[in-house]
Structures are given as C-alpha cells and as structure tokens.
Structure 1
Amino acid sequence: MIQSAVTIALVPQLKTGPWIFWENLEAGISKAAQLGFDGVELFTPAADSIEPSILKTLLEKYSISLAAVGTGAGKVIKGLTLTDPNPDVRKLAITFITDMINFGARFNAPAIIGSMQGNVAAGVERERTFEWLAEGLSALATHAEAKGVPLIYEPLNRYETNLINTLTDGAGFIQRLDTRNIKLLADLFHMNIEEESIPETIRKVGPLIGHVHFADSNRRPVGMGHTSIPEIAEALYQINYTGYVSAEAFPWPNPDEAARQTIRAYKQFFTTASSHTS
C-alpha cells in the first residue's frame, strides 16, 4: 500500500522552503497523526538536533512512523556539498550525511540527498564533478546498507542544480555505480519542470523509485496546481510502488490547510477503489 507523509522542518534558515509544518516537533507530529498521515518526514539542523529517545516517544505516542530525514541543512547552514572542489569540504559533507543516515536508521527511515549533491563549480570539469558525486554516493550508500536502510538520491530541476535533472538521467547514473542501495526520489514538482511525461518516466525507472515528494506544479499542495495526478497515481500502482508520497510543498495558504488538502488528495488518489484501474 502506498503510504502518506507530511514534512516537518525544524530549521529556521529554511523558513521560506516547501515544508508543511514548522518549528514545533510534537505539534507537527500530533497534527499529522490527527489527520491520518502514516508518517512524517523531518528536516533538522543536524543529526543531533533531536534526542532519539524523545523522537521515539513522540512517534509511539501518536502511532506514526518516520518516513525519511532530509539533509539539506548541511548545505544551507554549513555550506557543505558532495561536489565541492575542496576535498576537506567533501569529507565534512559525507560526515554530516553519515550522521543523518545513522539518525534515520534508528527508526528505519532513509536519508535524502537533494541539495547536498551540489553543482558543477566554475572552472571545474564536469566529469570530475561527477566522479566526486559518485564517490560520495557510493560511500554513503554502502554505509546506509550496513545500517539496514537505502540511500535516497533526488534529481533536482535545472534552477537548483546543473548536475542531474531528470529521473532517467538519475537512473542511468546510479546504475553505473557498484552499489545497488541507492533509490531515486521522484519529486513531482521537479518532474513537472524537467520530464516530458511524469507517468512515463515513473514507469520507465520503476523499481528504482524509493520515495515520492507529493506537490503540485506550483509547489503548493496537490490539488492547488495543474499537475494531472490520476495518471501519476496509476503509474505508481503499475510499478507496484509501496513507499511514501510525502508532502514537500509550500504551506499554502497556511500549514493546517495545506496538510488537510494533502491528506484529501492522498485519500482521493491512493485509498479509493477508483484510484487505479489495473
């Protein structure tokens, strides 16, 4: 069964970003549980920002799961990426993400690498940058495998990275690596910009998809833009996807209504008998 999740950001520097709930961990978890979400996706300043025992208590109290943990604060706060020309910075990036993998793995949740993949820097050969990305992802995927979780890699749109922008290119890249513990994140907002057909791409890369970010064309909650969700939902059923569709969307018009709209959309497309025809 495809599961629902909603994002909670605890990073003040990311206040303008596409996350539904903000600042108060227990309030966000409580509201998510009350609305019927299966999980929450967390964005924290670092792996040690939340005491694991506290998070465990809250997840158990509200009978909800940890869907994934984001690593974007590593770039936003610390300026770290896996493709920085400075090898010391790349090492710090790997350490930051490794700590996040360890944190998430306590709850069987994978870490997501999005913005921390970085960019091809001015004056650096593109091939060299991809070598750094491959080295970093391979090392992190191997560590994640030892912890019992996959590593989630997210292709971003052209305005956020000049590395990999489509799921097809992302699939080709990770399949050339030695590890098989990397899964792709299908972010519907990024895909709306970059893909010729979102449903066709989902069917094409199929088993490589490990997480879905559930947002509309304008990055508002699903149902507030023009993305055609029925065909996307059908494609996810066709590839037998059973992971999360997680609302990484702007909290528009406010967090509570954004969460309510998301769970309405989830129920419409993923929990009704008419949600797929296969």
Structure 2
Amino acid sequence: MKYGVCICFDNIEGIKQAAEIGYDYVEFSFQAIVNADDKAFNNMKNLLSELNIKCETTNCFLPGSFNISSGNADMNEVAAFVEKGMKRGQELGLRIVVFGSGGAKQIPDGVEFGTAFKRLYEFLRDIVSPIAGKYDIQIAIEPLCKKEVNIINTVKEGAMLAVATGKDNIAVLADIYHMKEENETWQDILDVGSQLIHSHISNPGSDSNNAKRVYPTDKNEYDYKGFLDAIEKVGCKRCSVEASIAGDFYENLAKTYKLLKAIK
C-alpha cells in the first residue's frame, strides 16, 4: 500500500516533512495546480524533484462555480480548466484526480435527479475521460455524505456513476469519513470490487469521541485495519490521509504514518 497525505500546495515546510517522514506521495488541490502562476508551479515541480516525491493524486477537482448538475456551466471553460490542470499535473507525477467537488455536483432547485445524474456522467464521459486519457490519468469519483451534497453519497452510487460513463479511466474512491457518515460497511467496498482505485483515511470520530476527521494515531480509535484490508482486497494501491490538524503538524503526520505502516 502506498500512503500519501492531502496537503496545501503552498505548504512547503509540510511537504518537506511528509517526504522526510516517508510518505510515498502528496495529494494537492487540483484547483491550486491550475491557479498557480508559472513561477510557483515551476518552483513546486523543482521542489518535488529534489525531495523525490510526487503529487500522484489530487482533490478539489472543480470549483463550485462550475456546477455541472445545473446545466449552466460553460463547458468550453470547464474543459480548458481540466486540460490545464491535467497537463500540469502530469509534470508533477499525477496519476489520479479525485472528483469530490460537492459544489460542482450539487443539484439545484428545479433540476430532477435523473437529469443531474445524466449531466454528470456525460461530463465525465465526453469531456473529462478523453482529456485524462491524453495524460494517462484516472478519475476517482469521491462520494460525499448527504451533509455536504445531495447526489452521489455512497461508494456504490459512485461506482454506478463511473459505470454509467462506460469509460475505463473513470472509477471510484472510498473515504472512511464519508462512509461512516452514511453508515456504510467494508462490504460496500468489496461489492464495488475493482471499480475502487483510491481511498482517503482519517479518524472519523465515534459515538464516544466528538473529534471528526482528525489524524489517526491509535489502532484502537477506529477499525482502520478493516478499512485497509477491504481496499487492499479489491486491488486499491493508494490511501491518502485527509484530516484536520489538531496540535503539531509534524507530530500528527509522523504518528499517522507509523500507525498505517504497522497495520499494512
């Protein structure tokens, strides 16, 4: 299993720390890669090369201003945004783009569910998949819990959207936090099988622990092993830590890495 960490594009010190600790890759915001000026982008490319670490995955694919479900997004503008990000991403070692982006998926009032679903899979099929194919990049649809968006809330729903595109480079992600919020089980991961290509892990909190989505530090906090066993069984090879920082960043990062490596 390769372990990465979700981190801000401009967190230079944090990126250095992640590499020092031993993380296999970093996960940046796709939007940050697109929006960086040429100097900042080239500096980042050089930094990653020096540290011998790559940005193999990205999150925050589309801004909310590109609401695909509404049918009002300028698809030429969206396509240009996707093209720029994937072209740049390839230079950083990008392999998987995570499509969570609740603002871009959210179904607005007056739009039927079926219409929104069709717009999403046509967008992925006709615009995203061909561009991603040029750069040998895959898309992992991230289901977000109902508190965050009103469509594609579970791993199985994400897999259905991926299958609807009919494209081999469109797949699904499992996020331990969103799965907990939607009362999903590890069996849901096994059920989607090879459709699952990426994952996010955190301490999602429990009935006796009010902390939500913080860095995992103890094997007894949650069933991390069950999650990692399930994703490994279906062939998923990457897991990114996506969590809020409570306390010292380096300490959290190091403890989580040690825990994950001890599990798998």
Give the alignment's TM-score, normalised by structure 2: 0.86
In 1, the alpha carbon distance for the partners of 2:235 and 2:33 equals 33
**Counterpart among 111, 115, 119 of residue 106 in structure 2:** 119
Secondary structure in 1 matching 2:32: coil
Residue 37 of structure 1 corresponds to: 23
Which of 226, 236, 244 does residue 241 from structure 1 map onto? 236
Alpha-carbon distance in 2 for matches of 1:160, 1:80: 16
User: C-alpha separation between the residues in 2 aligned to 1:233 and 1:97?
Assistant: 30
Query: What SS is found at the alignment partner of 1:176?
Result: helix
When residues 166 and 133 of structure 1 are mapped into structure 2, their CA distance, relative to the original with a 3 A threshold, is: same
Uncovered stretches (5+) of structure 1, i.e. residues with no partner: 11-22, 271-278
Structure 2 unaligned blocks of 5 or more: 205-211
Alpha-carbon distance, 1:71 to partner: 3.0
After superposition, residues 19-38 of structure 1 pair within 5 angstroms as 23-25=10-12, 27-38=13-24
The code of the aligned residue for 2:6 comes to T
Q: How does 1:1-150 map to 2 (within 5 A)?
A: 2-10=1-9, 23-25=10-12, 27-43=13-29, 44-49=31-36, 51=38, 52-72=41-61, 74-75=63-64, 79-88=65-74, 90-109=75-94, 110-115=96-101, 116-138=103-125, 139-150=127-138
- Please report how far the alpha carbon of residue 74 of structure 1 lies from its aligned counterpart in structure 2 after TM superposition: 2.1
CA contact (8 A) 1:157 1:193 kept: yes
3-state SS in 2 of match to 1:105: helix
Corresponding residue for residue 245 of structure 2: 251
Question: What's the secondary structure of 2:7's corresponding residue?
Answer: strand
**Residues 1:262 and 2:256 are matched in the alignment:** yes
Q: CA offsets, 1:63-120, max 9 Å, x none?
A: 1121212235623xxx2232234142x5433432332222212233122211154211
Distance 1:82 1:144, change over 3 A: same
Aligned to 1:216: 203
Aligned amino acid, residue 163 of structure 1: I
1:62 aligned partner, one-letter code: L
Asked whether 1:169 is paired with 2:164, we answer: no
- Give 1:187 deviation, angstroms: 0.9
- What's 2:225 paired with? 230
Q: Distance in 1 between matches of 2:80 and 2:141?
A: 17
Structure 1 counterpart SS, 2:42: helix
Deviation at 1:46, TM superposition (A): 4.7
Distance 2:6 2:230 in 1: 23
TM-aligned CA distance change 1:211 to 1:135, over 3 Å: same
CA shift in 2, pair 1:216/1:93, >3 Å: farther
Q: The residue matched to 2:213 in structure 1 has which SS?
A: coil
Contact 1:166 1:195 in 2 (8 A): no
Secondary structure of 2:56 counterpart: strand
**CA distance in structure 2 between the partners assigned to 1:262 and 1:191 by the alignment:** 20
Residues 181-196 of structure 1 aligned to structure 2 (within 5 Å): 181-196=169-184
Task: Give the Å deviation of 1:245.
Answer: 1.1
Q: Distance in 2 between matches of 1:8 and 1:258?
A: 13
- Equivalenced residue count is 250
- Identity of matched residues, %: 24
CA displacement at 1:177 relative to structure 2: 1.6
| Cα distance in 2 for residues equivalent to 1:158 and 1:94 | 27
